[in-house]
Chain A
Amino acid sequence: MIGCYDFCGHYEWTFAWLERAGGPELLRDYWREAIALDSQRHAAELIQREGIEGMKKYWGHTLVEESPSLGFTITAAVDRFRIDMHDCPSKGFLVRNGLEQHRDYCDHCMGWVGPMMRDAGYVVDHEHNHRGQCWWEYRAPSAPPAAAAAGANDVRARPEWLAADAKLDRYEGATSPDEKRS
Chain B
Amino acid sequence: MSSSTALPYTDTKPQGSADFYFATNATFRFLLRRLGAEGWRSYLEQLGRGYFAPVNRQWREGGLGAVARYWREFFAAEPGAVVDVEERPDRVEVHVRECPAIKHLRAAAREIVPEYCQHCYWLGCARAGEAGLTMRLHGGNGACRHTFARAGAALPPQVRQDIVEVRS
Contact = CB atoms under 8 A, between A and B. Distances in A.
Nearest to B52: A10
A10 B78 CA distance: 15
B107 interface: no
Interface in A1-57: 1-7, 9-11, 13-14, 17, 21-22, 26, 29-30, 33-35, 38-40
A5 B77 contact: yes
Given A17-B43, A17-B46, A35 B23 contact: yes
Interface residues of B, number: 41
Contacts of A92: 12
A interface bracket (residues with beta carbon within 8 Å of B): 35 or more
Interface stretch (B28-36, B59-67, B85-93, B155-163): B28-36
Contacts of B79: 4
Nearest to A13: B51
A94 B138 CA distance: 33
A69 interface: yes
A65 B51 contact: no
A159 B19 CA distance: 33
Contacts of B120: 1
Contacts of B12: 69, 89, 92
A11 B43 CA distance: 12
B10 interface: yes
Contact of B9 (A1, A9, A29, A38): A9
A97 B11 CA distance: 9
B9 A93 contact: yes
Contacts of A34: 23, 26-27, 29-30
Contacts of A2: 24, 47, 101, 119, 123
Interface in A40-94: 40, 62, 65-66, 68-69, 89, 92-93
B16 A6 contact: yes
A1 B11 CA distance: 18
Contacts of B74: 1, 3, 5
A92 B23 CA distance: 19
Contacts of A9: 9, 51
B21 to A, nearest CB: 6
A68 B26 CA distance: 25
A45 B47 CA distance: 32
A143 interface: no
A51 B25 CA distance: 27
Contact of B47 (A3, A17, A22, A68): A17
Given A7-B17, A10-B47, A39 B11 contact: no
Given A1-B78, A34-B27, A92-B12, 13 more contacts: A2-B47, A4-B18, A5-B15, A7-B24, A13-B51, A34-B26, A35-B23, A38-B30, A69-B12, A93-B9, A93-B11, A96-B10, A97-B8
23 contacts: A1-B119, A1-B123, A1-B124, A4-B16, A4-B18, A5-B15, A5-B74, A6-B9, A7-B20, A10-B51, A14-B43, A17-B46, A34-B30, A35-B26, A38-B22, A39-B22, A40-B23, A62-B17, A66-B17, A93-B9, A93-B11, A97-B8, A99-B9
